[in-house]
C-alpha cells in the first residue's frame, strides 16, 4: 500500500457533519503511516492527569480555542502540542464523519499521512505513551467485541477493540470503524477473516 492509494481512496469521501448545538467543538488527527507496504494507525494513551477521558486510548487532538481559525487548525495545533508532529510533516488526505461523545464533545476527525520513522516529542502532562496498530489488526474478529454503555437513559451497544492489551472504545472506536469501512470499500484491506 502507498500513500497515493490512501489519498485516492479518500479523495471523494464526503464527511457527514452532526447537528449538536450544545456540543463543545473538538478536532483530532487520525495519523496514518506506511511501514513495509502496510498502513498503520497512531493512537495515544491519554495521561491520568487530564480532566476528560483520562487514561483512555484516543487520537491526538483537543478542544477548539477562540484563536483557532478552523477545526483543521485545532487538529494540527493539538497534535503538535501533544505528540510533537509538526503540521509541515502532515499531509491531510481526508476528513471523516463527525462524532459526538457522551461527555458533550463534538469531534471532527481529520486523516493525515505522517512520515515513518518520526521523532515524536510527547507532552507527558497529556500523553502517557504512543500506540501503533497495523490497520489490518482492526478487522481481526478476535480483536473486536461489543461494548455496552449505559448513557443514563438506555444501554447502547457499540463496537470496541482490544489490541496490544489496550481497549479502544467510544468515539475513538467509532472513528476507527469508519476508517476501516472506507479501507474495505476501496479494497485496501481484506473483507474479513
Nearest partner of 33 among 113, 93, 111, 96, judged by Cα: 113
* CATH numbers and ranges of domains, the chain: 3-134 (3.90.79.10)
CB 29 within 8 A of CB 90: yes
Is pTM, for the whole model, over 0.85?
A: yes
Q: Which three cell numbers stand for residue 46?
A: 491519554
Rg (CA), the chain: 16
119-122 — which CB contacts under 8 Å span 24+ positions?
Answer: 119/84, 120/83, 120/84, 120/85, 121/83, 121/84, 122/82, 122/83, 122/84
Q: How remote is the C-alpha of 24 from its chain's centroid?
A: 17
H or E stretch covering 161: strand 155-163
The pLDDT value recorded for residue 50 is 64
Please, what sign has the CA dihedral across residues 160, 150, 175, 85? negative
Q: What is the pLDDT along the chain (193 residues), one digit of tens a residue?
A: 778 888 888 877 899 998 877 889 999 999 999 999 899 999 999 887 766 667 889 999 999 999 999 999 999 999 999 999 999 999 999 999 999 887 889 999 999 999 999 999 999 999 999 999 999 999 998 999 988 878 778 888 889 999 989 999 989 999 999 999 999 988 887 654 4
Helix axes 170-185, 3-10, angle to 10 degrees: 100
> Using CA atoms, how far apart are residues 34 and 183, in angstroms rounded to an integer?
14
Q: For position 192, what pLDDT does the model report?
A: 46
DSSP codes joined into one string, 60-98: SEEEPPTT-SSHHHHHHHHHHHHH---GGG-EEEEEPPP
Termini Cα distance of the chain: 19
Amino acid at each position: 500500500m502507498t500513500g497515493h492509494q490512501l489519498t485516492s481512496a479518500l479523495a471523494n469521501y464526503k464527511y457527514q457533519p452532526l447537528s449538536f448545538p450544545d456540543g463543545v467543538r473538538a478536532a483530532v488527527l487520525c495519523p496514518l503511516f506506511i511501514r513495509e507496504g502496510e498502513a498503520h494507525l497512531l493512537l495515544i494513551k491519554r495521561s491520568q492527569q487530564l480532566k476528560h477521558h483520562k487514561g483512555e486510548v484516543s487520537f491526538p487532538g483537543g478542544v477548539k480555542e477562540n484563536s483557532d481559525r478552523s477545526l483543521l487548525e485545532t487538529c494540527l495545533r493539538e497534535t503538535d502540542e501533544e505528540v510533537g508532529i509538526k503540521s509541515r510533516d502532515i499531509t491531510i488526505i481526508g476528513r471523516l464523519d463527525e462524532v459526538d461523545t457522551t461527555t458533550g464533545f463534538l469531534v471532527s476527525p481529520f486523516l493525515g499521512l505522517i512520515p515513518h520513522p518520526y521523532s515524536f516529542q510527547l507532552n507527558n502532562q497529556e500523553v502517557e505513551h504512543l500506540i501503533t496498530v497495523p490497520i489490518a489488526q482492526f478487522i481481526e474478529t478476535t480483536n473486536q467485541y461489543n461494548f455496552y454503555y449505559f448513557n443514563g437513559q438506555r444501554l447502547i451497544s457499540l463496537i470496541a477493540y482490544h489490541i496490544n492489551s489496550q481497549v479502544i472504545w467510544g468515539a475513538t472506536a467509532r472513528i476507527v470503524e469508519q476508517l476501516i469501512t472506507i479501507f474495505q470499500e476501496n479494497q485496501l484491506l481484506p473483507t474479513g477473516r
